[in-house]
Amino acid sequence: MSFPLLTATAAVPAIGAIATAAVPAAKRTVAKWLALLFSLATLVLAAVVAVRFTPGAKGPFQLTESHAWIRSFGVRYELGVDGIAVALIALTALLVPFVILAGWHDADPMEGPEPNRRWRPTQGFFALILAVEAMVVISFEATDVFLFYIFFEAMLIPMYFLIGGFGDRAGSGGEEHSASLRSQAAVKFLLYNLAGGLIMLAAVIGLYAATADQLGSGTFSLTEIVQARADGKLALGTGTERLLFLGFFFAFAVKAPLWPLHTWLPGAMGESTAPVAVLITAVVDKVGTFAMLRFCLQLFPEASSWATPVILVLALVSILYGALLAVGQRDIKRLIAYASISHFGFIIMGIFAMTSQGQGGATLYMVNHGISTAALMLVAGFLISRRGSRLIADYGGVQKAAPVLAGTFLVGGLATLSLPGLAPFVSEFLVLVGTFSRYPAVGIVATVGIVLAALYVLVLYQRTMTGPVKSEVRAMPDLKARELAVVAPLIALLLFLGVYPKPLTDLVNPAVDHTLSVVDQHDPRPDVPVKADAEAAK
């Protein structure tokens, strides 16, 4: 029996969460180091998964594990990865150690007249981060629909407590007001995602009933359902397939987040600590867009094609709406949140363009957006912790007081606006090319989002980092060693993947080709009158 590598990759952070939570309350530093060590062990296992994975090998999934779980309902513990899942597991495992390092002091006792008062136990903060990592990783690995659903919903619980219990200390209006805003943001996050999950549960049950009716026994296995459809043994009626697709897509669109189901994100990111905000948008939200590729398109190919025009319009609205609201923000973290809504619009647009360039670019965008947003948000968090304010107007001239901080903030911002030479540029370019080849009007309008991104990023940098030095930031310290250890590797990755994205493209392209074949879509043929041009040249 081969070593269950995928199980181990998800189990290590889960065990780490339990071990960290069990550390005595007086041993806060021990809990931090223990959480960091478990996150690094998970990163090592994710690297082993990437090394053992063979791009382009026969079959949709590799490193598979399959065991009977609830036999009477056809539920199996079934895991497997394709190139898209491997890339996102690597992203998750890479970012969590940086999240832990960046949040090293976020759950320390609060300063003030009650020196022993704390937000929540430090152990709980880091245990919850590891719990989220474990659930996200197994969500990327699950090829049983019911197994995926369990962890898709379960990750809401630790995220709820991270948002509501360990919020940003830089909020205005006093501690009671900040606690109220954190509570509201956490409840809104939970209610939106629970609503999406309940609708998806109805669709999951409907899918099981359909397979039981036509195959003789119900199944939740993605590979079995896709194969049964290909063999003609399972034929969902048009109306049934479309209803099931909408149930799945609604849940994933909430998680993604897609306009108009996005309204929970700005509050959740704004009231969270910067590391938790990174966990939300760079890790957890990727489960939504990943699931669109793995489940919506492969389980319901006809319904996916049917819904594509509407979804492209919603994605286009997300791109422009998120960018426009980012331009008008006064809060640094909410600006980054609205920018992420715009970026997720690009990702969803690429997925439903139904072209190899679009879906390949969307997958790269998930990875590169995670890295660039992590870099920008974490540096913004370091900035906010120094000044104690999230308001853009409270800054000015920071580059003179803290030049390294300002420089890393600029690189993160330039990556967010997809500057050529940085990783997100390749992703955005592929998404636009892939969309334009099939839907030219949508591709043209989407480019407005690029112009708006340049506007909100450069204005943010100008107002916070340049100009006269405000008295409140004159003595601001520059990045310390721990903070540089967080930011420097992310910037190095942005530069490396910006000039050499081939490792990622080689990894994800075969999985994209498989998805397109399941949906029965092909890249549009170039409409170039080659013969006429040759005759004219003579």
For residue 279, pLDDT over 50 is answered with yes
> Are 380 and 459 spatial neighbours (Cβ–Cβ below 8 Å)?
no
pLDDT over 70, % of the chain: 93
Q: Is the pLDDT reported for residue 116 higher than 90? A: no
Predicted confidence band at 530 (pLDDT cuts at 50, 70, 90)? low
Over range 315-321, report the average pLDDT. 95
114 vs 333, residue with greater confidence? 333
The pLDDT of residue 118 is above 50: no
For 463-510, the pLDDT digits (tens) are 999 888 888 888 889 999 999 999 999 999 999 999 999 999 999 999
DSSP-derived pairing of the beta strands 75-81 and 62-70: antiparallel
The pLDDT tens digits of the residues spanning 211-268 come to 888 887 888 899 989 888 888 888 888 899 999 999 999 999 999 889 998 899 998 8
Contact of 437 with 523, CB cutoff 8 Å: yes
pLDDT band at 206 (very low <50, low <70, confident <90, very high): very high
Q: Percentages helix, strand, coil for the chain, rounded to the nearest 5?
A: 75, 5, 20
Tokens at residue 54, please? 């063979």
Do 144 and 220 form a contact (C-beta atoms < 8 A)? yes
**Cα–Cα distance, 124 to 21 (Å, whole number):** 6
Q: How far apart are CA 480 and CA 382, in angstroms?
A: 10
Q: Which residue has the tokens 């591709």?
A: 443
In this prediction, residues 272-280 reach a mean pLDDT of 92
- Alpha-carbon span 358 to 428, nearest angstrom: 9
Is the pLDDT assigned to residue 18 strictly greater than 70?
A: yes
116-120, 295-299, 383-387: least confidently modelled range: 116-120
Q: Which pLDDT band holds residue 137 (cuts at 50, 70, 90)? A: very high
The tokens for 314 are 């919603």
372 contacts: CB under 8 Å, gap ≥ 6: 412, 415, 416, 422, 423, 424, 494
pTM (2 d.p.): 0.91
Q: Which two tokens stand for residue 349?
A: 């647009």
What is the number of residues in the chain? 538
Burial of 493 (0-12, 13-18, 19+ CB in 10 A): buried
Give the DSSP H/E element, type plus range, for residue 63.
strand 62-70
Q: What integer pLDDT is reported at residue 388 of this predicted model?
A: 83
Using DSSP's 3-state secondary structure scheme, residue 60 falls into coil
| Residue 538 pLDDT exceeds 70 | no
pLDDT above 90 covers a percentage of the chain that reads 65
> Looking at residue 56, what DSSP letter applies?
T
What average pLDDT does range 30-49 have in this prediction? Answer: 95
Q: Where in the chain are the domains?
A: 5-109+118-537
Nearest Cα residue to 344 out of 317, 325, 379 = 317
Q: Residue 139 carries which side chain, given as an amino acid letter? A: S
Q: Work out the pLDDT band at 337, boundaries 50, 70, 90.
A: very high
46 pLDDT tier (thresholds 50, 70, 90): very high
Q: How many angstroms separate the CA atoms of 6 and 18, rounded?
A: 19
Residue 272 sits at the vertex; the CA angle it makes with 270 and 277, to the nearest 5 degrees, is 85
Residue 77's SS3 state is strand
Residue 115 pLDDT class (50, 70, 90 cuts):
very low
pLDDT for residue 527 is more than 80: no
pLDDT of residue 451: 92
Among 293, 294, 332, 366, CA closest to 94:
366
pLDDT exceeds 80 at position 404:
yes
Give the integer Cα–Cα distance in Å for 519 and 524.
14
Mean pLDDT is lowest, of 374-378, 442-446, 518-522, for 518-522
Q: What is the mean pLDDT of the chain?
A: 89
Please give the residue that has the higher pLDDT: either 419 or 175. Answer: 419
Nearest one of 244, 236, 238, 139 to 200, comparing CA atoms: 244
Contacts of 438 (CB under 8 A, 6+ apart): 353, 354, 355, 358, 524
pLDDT at 522 over 80: no
In the prediction, which pLDDT does 319 show?
Answer: 95
How much is the pLDDT for 34? 95
Closest CA to 343 of 445, 248, 418, 261: 418
| Gap between the Cα atoms of 333 and 277, Å rounded | 9
* 3-state secondary structure labels for all residues of 343-408: HHHHHHHHHHCCCHHHHHHHHHHHHHHHHHHHHHHHHHHHHHHHHCCCEHHHCCCHHHHCHHHHHH
Number of separate helices (H) and strands (E) present in the chain: 24, 2
Output the six-digit token pair for 530: 């080659």
d(CA 106, CA 165): 11
At 160-176, the pLDDT tens digits run 999 988 876 665 555 66
Whole-number Å distance between alpha carbons of 497 and 422? 7
Residue 449 to residue 339: CA distance in whole angstroms: 10
Asked whether residue 402 carries a pLDDT value surpassing 60, the answer given is yes
**8 vs 168, residue with greater confidence:** 8
> Taking a C-beta distance cutoff of 8 angstroms, is the pair 153, 251 a contact?
no
**Look-up of token digits 């947003």:** 373
SS3 331: strand
Both structure tokens of 529: 């009158």
For position 422, what pLDDT does the model report? Answer: 93
